[in-house]
Amino acid sequence: MKAVVVHGNRDVRVDEVPDPVPGEGEVLLALEWGGICGSDISYWRHGGTGTAVLRHPMILGHEVAGRVAGLGPGVSGVEVGQPVTVHPAELVGEHAYPEGRSNLHPHVRYFGSAAFDPHTDGGFSEYRTVPVGQLRPLPDGVSTQQGALAEPLGVALHAVNRAGSLRGRTVLVNGAGPIGALVVAAAKHRGASAVIAADLAASSLEIAKRMGADETRDLSTQSLPEDVDISFEASGSPAAIGPVLRATARGGTVVQVGNLPGEPAPAALGDLVTREITWVGSYRFADEITDALTALAEGLDISPLISHTYPLAGAAEALAVAADRTTGSSKVLLRLSE
């Protein structure tokens, strides 16, 4: 079968790899769609992401959906042909973590991750075997293309959950890349009265508007609003933290959903104290991917997020377009089957 394999910095290839065979408790998936994430781009650009460093070639991709193509021994309750997406996290070993927050388990194998050696191959391939417990069936009316967006929508819903109730609240989303735009949609879905999206890129702001933003701020010419109830910092830029804290009302909440650097970086934090802001982190998700599928079945439309689609053979170009915001890209999808 064909698979998108990263070999090193700026070296991604569509390789021929052995067809997988499902083992005990596993399902064989024929994959149809995959979404390119920032971590996929980082492996391609830098040969790693965060503390995970590429040591040998690895199949990329953790935002995927397709159909069941075969069942391994001991699998029941799943039908061949059934459309599914995948929860990409597998907890490794017995470790303590806060109840209901499996995303904080200290040892997790994630699709398309070099955190462990051997690495965990992702799902940008024609087929992949998956433990049956990681499958999430797609509800009626939810396509496999939509299903490939359930994982990042789960990230956005987890961030929204970290903020508490949004009903009737004013919300700022700083950074309108794919996750920020999904936070916009999730916040509106969860009852926010007004959502303001801010970014430097006009194309990203247009997508945020189509995803439900009531107002947009172009930060190349405008400033952030004042006294919003809840802010989501989705840019991951340390320089943005100070202005976002200042934009948040006294006693308000800031949810840090954009990944921050792992090394020291300057940030203006004075307002965290003087305005008594609650600043919380948001990391991946627990099982909000299931909530994401429910929201999609209820009619949440996140299709404006999809800016480009490419065939599997065009993976290198797809990564380059996804990495370059001047292309107007947001969520770039790979069509993994013909």
141-164 pLDDT, tens per residue?
Answer: 999 999 999 999 999 999 999 999
Domains 2-149+302-335 and 153-281 agree in fold: no
Q: Predicted confidence band at 338 (pLDDT cuts at 50, 70, 90)? A: confident
3 strand-pairing partners: 15, 125
pLDDT at residue 50 in the model: 84
CB atoms within 10 A of CB 99: 6
| 184 closest CA partner among 162, 153, 225 | 153
Asked if residue 140 lies in contact with residue 293, where contact means CB atoms within 8 angstroms, the answer is no
Asked if residue 78 lies in contact with residue 27, where contact means CB atoms within 8 angstroms, the answer is yes
Mean pLDDT for the stretch of residues 21-29: 98
Q: Predicted confidence band at 205 (pLDDT cuts at 50, 70, 90)? A: very high
pLDDT at residue 81 in the model: 98
Question: Across all residues in the chain, what is the average pLDDT?
Answer: 97
Instruction: Concatenate the DSSP letters of all residues of 42-58 into one string.
Output: HHHHHSEETTEE--S-E
Residues 6+ apart with CB under 8 A from 327: 308, 321
CB atoms within 10 A of CB 226: 10
Could you please state the CATH topology (level 3) that the domain comprising 153-281 is classified under.
Answer: Rossmann fold (3.40.50)
Residue 19 scores a pLDDT above 80: yes
Residue 188, helix vs strand vs coil: helix
Asked if residue 239 lies in contact with residue 267, where contact means CB atoms within 8 angstroms, the answer is yes
Sign for the pseudo-dihedral over CA of 38, 330, 60, 73: positive
- Give me the CATH code for the 2-149+302-335 domain, please: 3.90.180.10
pLDDT at residue 263 in the model: 87
Mean pLDDT for the stretch of residues 201-226: 98
- Cα 12 to Cα 27: distance, rounded to the nearest angstrom: 27
Residue with tokens 């001047």: 326
- Cα 174 to Cα 166: distance, rounded to the nearest angstrom: 16
- Cα 319 to Cα 5: distance, rounded to the nearest angstrom: 12
Q: Predicted confidence band at 11 (pLDDT cuts at 50, 70, 90)? A: very high
- Cα 307 to Cα 338: distance, rounded to the nearest angstrom: 20
Instruction: Concatenate the DSSP letters of all residues of 239-306 into one string.
Output: HHHHHHHHHEEEEEEEEE-SPPPSS------HHHHHTT-EEEE--S-SSHHHHHHHHHHTT---GGGE
Domain assignments of the chain as residue spans, ordered by start:
2-149+302-335, 153-281
pLDDT at residue 262 in the model: 84
Global model pTM greater than 0.85: yes
Instruction: Concatenate the DSSP letters of all residues of 96-149 into one string.
Output: ---TT-GGG-S-EEETTB-SSSS-B--S-BSEEEEEGGGEEEPPTT--HHHHTT
Q: Predicted confidence band at 183 (pLDDT cuts at 50, 70, 90)? A: very high
Q: What is the pLDDT of residues 280-298, one digit of tens each?
A: 999 999 999 999 999 999 9
pLDDT at residue 179 in the model: 98
Q: At what angle do helices 150-163 and 178-189 cross, to 10 degrees?
A: 60
pLDDT at residue 51 in the model: 85
Q: What is the pLDDT of residues 123-144, one digit of tens each?
A: 999 999 999 999 999 999 999 9
Q: Predicted confidence band at 311 (pLDDT cuts at 50, 70, 90)? A: very high
